[in-house]
Structure 1
Amino acid sequence: MKLYRFLTAEDDSAFCHKVSEALSKGWSLYGDPTYAFDAQHGVMRCGQAVTKEISGDYSPDMKLGQQ
């Protein structure tokens, strides 16, 4: 089955590390990254979808970050 996650964070190196960590754990990029201005905090925010194939069935109790 295929898992899906959408990673988000402020547009800084921590976001790049978050995506790099997911890739190192077998997740794959899905689509293009997105950017939006967070007017409340005055910063740009990034988002990147990632997917991963795993065996077994989906459960809403899964901790996707630990997969």
Structure 2
Amino acid sequence: MTVVLTAKQIEDLADFAKKDGQPQYTITTGTIPEFEAEDGSTIPEYHGLIAYSDSLEHGVLQLGE
């Protein structure tokens, strides 16, 4: 499998990694179902490239365009 990232996606991933603080991330395709955020807003379903760590305590980054 080949994954091609734009410069913007690489920058977004680098920023995310600095803030999230995990030692490594997996990049794959996947679906994040629609959900309600802590502030009550609705986050729409996302399907595409995502990056995540093995930690259940940390976030998932949508690498959409």
Give the strand-richer structure, 1 or 2: 1
TM-score bracket, normalised by the shorter chain, equals 0.3 to 0.5
What TM-score, normalized to structure 1? 0.33
What TM-score, normalized to structure 2? 0.34
